[in-house]
Structure 1
Amino acid sequence: MSAVVWIAVGSLAAWGWLLLGQGFYWRTDQRLPPHEGYRTNTGNAKDDEGDDSRFWPSVAIVVPARDEAAVLPESLPSLLAQVYPGKAEIFLVDDGSGDGTGELARELAGRYGGLPLTVSTPGEPEPGWTGKLWAVRHGIALARARDPEYLLLTDADIAHEPDSLRELVASARSQDFDLVSQMARLRVVSGWEKLIVPAFVYFFAQLYPFRWINRPGGRTAAAAGGCALLRTETAVRARVPESIHQAVIDDVSLARAVRRDGGRIWLGLAERVDSVRPYPRLADLWRMVARSAYAQLTHNPLLLLGTVAGLAVIYLAPPAAVAAGVFAGNGAAGWTGFAAWAVMTGTYIPILRYYRLSLWLAPLLPFTALLYLLMTVDSAVRHYRGRGAAWKGRTYRRPRTAPDQ
């Protein structure tokens, strides 16, 4: 057989493994765990025959925010309006914003009311800290003065349905989880968002299959930093965020720290949590991916080469083999490549349905994978040029991905 046929066969074999042996990562049924037996009332005496607010644990909501005035009017009111039977309050940490983020947060709290809001600023990060984790550290320190049982770590671009906090706590308590996180439904409005955003979630799940993460005693660990409910006691034991202070990919690092300490974690797709941050242009999405892609590979050139080769064989070889079949008359390559492409397309359909997008985007996954390949290479180039992981005016030249690396 020709080299093209062998590569196509290898790609088809890889897709057979991914379909059945990689934790069924392509399925989208990992949603917030049920909480039968846990009371999910509103604490309203008329509805529940008494005020049960004491039954619910106290929660401190920590929101790190840097130059978030554009999205805060959509996200912060959703936190202020949380319907939670127990005690809850919000700590928004204005991380050196230059756009009036802190002032806007106070104005929104005055306009909408709801949960109590404290706005504070931590000053510039100490050496070795990423900006977000420095802000989280400051917010957790403020929150612990109130002695909350849980911490909800949520980004400033995340909007929550009114019952989001209640459902998170009910699931965490009923299943005895130390960390419950949901991957927020990202915005898919522009053409580039529709093409690239679902693939971001798809690739993340392929790398960190949710079923493996949620398996008791499993070794795979990851979380979604935009919405993570963390038991305060666990955070203290795992020394969060001090133990992960240099991590750019802070959500994965958080989950590893909790699991290493013996905590139980859960990750799934969100139904009540949405990101309102827009990425209308390809350049916006490119920066979002490239800032941390090489950090995910631990800045290892060999891992980069392996990733590029793997993406090429798994995602790019099938359409290339089909082209060889059509234009070069290589029937074996064409049919093998078509079979691999078909399996690839089928695994992408569930995430497109989750995002309520046209299924005609599924066959375009090889093109999207090519873009991600180029973003990853660009991330490495930026690193070696000394620009590292740049975000909102800060550059981290040699960030770590996890506390054990």
Structure 2
Amino acid sequence: MSAVVWTAVGSLAAWLWLFLGQGFFWRTDLRLPPRREPDAWPSVCVVVPARDEAAVLPESLPSLLAQDYPGRAEIFLVDDGSSDGTGELARELSRRHGGLTLTVDSPGEPPAGWTGKLWAVRHGIGLARARAPEYLLLTDADIAHAPDSLRELVAAARTGGFDLVSQMARLRVESVWERLVVPAFVYFFAQLYPFRWIAVKGSRTAAAAGGCVLLRTDAAERARIPDAIRQAVIDDVALARAVKDSGGHIWLGLAERGETGVPPDGVRGKVDSVRPYPRLHDLWRMVSRSAYAQLRHNPLLLAGTVLGLAVVYLVPPVAFFAGLAADSAGATVAGGLAWLLMTVTYVPMLRYYRQSLLLAPLLPVTAFLYLLMTVDSAVQHYRGRGAAWKGRTYTRPDTAPEQR
């Protein structure tokens, strides 16, 4: 049992460090920073890249059209080669609901070296430039915004002097698999990119949540967004990194908490994803399409990640039960304490998503699923399937000439 004991002690040491030294990533109280309404509201253009989004647009687009924003604002929905009538549906929703001005356009197929979403974002920003907006709101087609969402984002950016303000939209948690996997997805993201470190000027940590990113136009130009990140599969993190590296001040936090499954009304700045992931297969695709890209397609990083996930998340319960079976106090205590710390750090995220706290001790099970998804992401990459999404496959990016 000596090897099990020492491995469990190593896992416990890792959890003590994560608990105290990783930016208190497990806390979920970071919301939009203190803000006050400006005397003059700046102009904003909303850019919505959309590919085959007819199923979710009726829930999301009306919330953008109904934004209660005191300044000038309009929406540019970029139909990225949809085959389900996304563009025409968007026009119909605009005619039916009124509200902010909506322009629907299409950029055509992306050229080599561009992901489809970023090509659509580039086209949308190009259309917006004619209006000379001070801010751009980049938001996905599956994101529903409370009526004051744009007002709250702009006020926070102006008050805090931020070049980028991003909210992690509340994902749907209705099916059994969503309840098991989704809160852990946000928990793992925060562990990789502690939100409190992101807003610190000079820190190396940078991330954003692509579903809701308010960006100063001059900061986008300075960072050459999106051209500088045109090959990025994980575009939100790459965008935040480019803005921060160019001297920008960025902020990321969780969206305000409202009732799950209820339209985003009555809660300040609420931002919800309305995209369903009812089956494990759906969630598996969401994670595995970009997991190996997150590791820069590096086999050594993959091996280190698998080993790290195993030591940090799988060893504690294994050591605990092995210690009980072998009457080893060392393994039982070290494994049990590590498992307890893991469970305690997961509780705030479950509360944020209003899920049963009985799911907290099951985090090792979810971590094992994420380990398998990460390995599968690498397998699909080496089979030439890369990051497959909505009929497009992105293999490892080749070197492309710089575009200025």
Common fold by TM > 0.5: yes
Deviation at 1:360, TM superposition (A): 0.6
Asked if the contact 1:95–1:121 (Cα under 8 Å) also holds between the matched residues in 2, the reply is yes
Which secondary structure state, in structure 2, belongs to the residue aligned with residue 390 of structure 1? Answer: strand
Deviation at 1:328, TM superposition (A): 2.2
Identify the match of residue 141 of structure 2 among 156, 180, 186: 156
Q: Which moved more, 1:274-283 or 1:217-226?
A: 217-226
Question: What CA distance in whole angstroms lies between the structure 2 residues aligned with 1:9 and 1:326?
Answer: 16
2:15 counterpart of 1:15:
yes
- Let me know the Cα RMSD of the aligned residues: 1.3
Deviations 1:292-333 (A, max 9, x none): 000000000000000000000000000101111222222220
Deviations 1:147-188 (A, max 9, x none): 000000000000000000000000001111000000000000
- Give matches, 1:228-247, under 5 Å: 228-247=213-232
- Give matches, 1:252-263, under 5 Å: 252-263=237-248
Question: What CA distance in whole angstroms lies between the structure 2 residues aligned with 1:320 and 1:394?
Answer: 40
Identify the match of residue 81 of structure 1 among 66, 74, 81: 66
The residue identity in structure 1 corresponding to 2:15 is W
Deviations 1:243-268 (A, max 9, x none): 00000000010001101110100000
Which secondary structure state, in structure 2, belongs to the residue aligned with residue 148 of structure 1? Answer: coil
Question: What CA distance in whole angstroms lies between the structure 2 residues aligned with 1:217 and 1:387?
Answer: 37
Give 1:295's aligned residue: 293
Deviation at 1:399, TM superposition (A): 3.6
Which secondary structure state, in structure 1, belongs to the residue aligned with residue 169 of structure 2? Answer: strand
Question: What CA distance in whole angstroms lies between the structure 2 residues aligned with 1:389 and 1:330?
Answer: 45
Question: What CA distance in whole angstroms lies between the structure 1 residues aligned with 2:372 and 2:166?
Answer: 29
Asked if the contact 1:74–1:276 (Cα under 8 Å) also holds between the matched residues in 2, the reply is yes
Give 1:70's aligned residue: 55
The residue identity in structure 2 corresponding to 1:260 is D
Give 2:32's aligned residue: 32
Question: What CA distance in whole angstroms lies between the structure 1 residues aligned with 2:223 and 2:104?
Answer: 26
Deviation at 1:357, TM superposition (A): 0.7
Question: What CA distance in whole angstroms lies between the structure 2 residues aligned with 1:268 and 1:144?
Answer: 28
Which secondary structure state, in structure 1, belongs to the residue aligned with residue 372 of structure 2? Answer: helix
Give 1:4's aligned residue: 4
- Give matches, 1:349-360, under 5 Å: 349-360=347-358
Deviations 1:339-361 (A, max 9, x none): 10000000000011110111110
2:269 counterpart of 1:284:
no
The residue identity in structure 2 corresponding to 1:293 is A
Give 1:368's aligned residue: 366
Identify the match of residue 318 of structure 2 among 312, 317, 320: 320
Question: What CA distance in whole angstroms lies between the structure 1 residues aligned with 2:172 and 2:205?
Answer: 27
Which secondary structure state, in structure 2, belongs to the residue aligned with residue 292 of structure 1? Answer: helix
Identify the match of residue 195 of structure 1 among 165, 174, 180: 180
Question: What CA distance in whole angstroms lies between the structure 2 residues aligned with 1:285 and 1:177?
Answer: 33
Question: What CA distance in whole angstroms lies between the structure 2 residues aligned with 1:181 and 1:336?
Answer: 38
Question: What CA distance in whole angstroms lies between the structure 2 residues aligned with 1:174 and 1:332?
Answer: 52
- Give matches, 1:48-59, under 5 Å: 55-59=40-44
Count, aligned residues = 387
Asked if the contact 1:389–1:399 (Cα under 8 Å) also holds between the matched residues in 2, the reply is no
Question: What CA distance in whole angstroms lies between the structure 1 residues aligned with 2:315 and 2:63?
Answer: 45
Which secondary structure state, in structure 2, belongs to the residue aligned with residue 185 of structure 1? Answer: coil
Asked if the contact 1:248–1:399 (Cα under 8 Å) also holds between the matched residues in 2, the reply is no
Which secondary structure state, in structure 2, belongs to the residue aligned with residue 291 of structure 1? Answer: helix
Question: What CA distance in whole angstroms lies between the structure 2 residues aligned with 1:102 and 1:192?
Answer: 31
Question: What CA distance in whole angstroms lies between the structure 2 residues aligned with 1:395 and 1:365?
Answer: 31
Give 2:255's aligned residue: 270
Question: What CA distance in whole angstroms lies between the structure 2 residues aligned with 1:85 and 1:221?
Answer: 31
Question: What CA distance in whole angstroms lies between the structure 2 residues aligned with 1:264 and 1:218?
Answer: 11
Identify the match of residue 102 of structure 1 among 70, 83, 87: 87
The residue identity in structure 2 corresponding to 1:394 is R
Deviations 1:356-403 (A, max 9, x none): 111110000000000000000000000001000000000001148xx9
The residue identity in structure 2 corresponding to 1:7 is T
Give TM-score scaled by structure 1 length.
0.94
Q: Give the unaligned 5+ runs of structure 2.
A: 257-269
Question: What CA distance in whole angstroms lies between the structure 1 residues aligned with 2:354 and 2:282?
Answer: 22
Question: What CA distance in whole angstroms lies between the structure 2 residues aligned with 1:250 and 1:309?
Answer: 26
Question: What CA distance in whole angstroms lies between the structure 1 residues aligned with 2:292 and 2:327?
Answer: 39
Q: What is the aligned-residue identity percentage?
A: 78
Deviations 1:81-140 (A, max 9, x none): 000000000000000000000000000000000000000000000110000000000000
Give 1:392's aligned residue: 390
Asked if the contact 1:137–1:242 (Cα under 8 Å) also holds between the matched residues in 2, the reply is yes
Give 2:157's aligned residue: 172
Asked if the contact 1:295–1:399 (Cα under 8 Å) also holds between the matched residues in 2, the reply is no
The residue identity in structure 2 corresponding to 1:367 is V
